Amino acid sequence: MVTCEECGLTYAEDIASDVRKHSRRHEKYLLACEHFGVLFPYKERERIKDRTSPIIHAQKWNTGREFSLQEKRAAAVEQIRAYFSRSVESWDYSLSHPPFKEYAAMLLNQKRWSEDIDPDVAQLLIKEFGQLPGIPEGHTYCKR
């Protein structure tokens, strides 16, 4: 088994059907990256969430670390991009998935994002992306 470092698919490189499956998915992934910008595969998404959560929630979690508003904003946008990547992947990299800014506004419409992260970060992100309905509370996937 091998895992593609770009698209993140694990497949058997000695099985022709797996190689074809990877080739089709990889092509969709590349087209989606051209259309949406950076998309993170699974392992990178998990690293991002682990690294950015203590920054985004520093005040609420009382971590004892100080981060600038711009550091917290950058961490939050990167984490939203990780969730966006997962949502796009769940749509099989369809270009009809809502764009990043719209997706971010849908997440920011949830209490989890508008109230549970540090308030200064939430307000900055809401000012930047707005708030839109579309993703149910507690979820991160866009529904078709």
Distance CA(131)–CA(61), nearest Å, equals 24
Distance CA(144)–CA(134), nearest Å, equals 10
pLDDT, one tens digit per residue, over 66-114 is: 899 999 999 999 999 999 999 999 999 999 999 999 999 999 999 988 7
pTM for the full predicted model: 0.92
The pLDDT of residue 63 is above 80:
no
Distance CA(93)–CA(112), nearest Å, equals 26
Distance CA(41)–CA(65), nearest Å, equals 29
The pLDDT of residue 65 is above 90:
no
Q: How many residues does the chain have?
A: 144
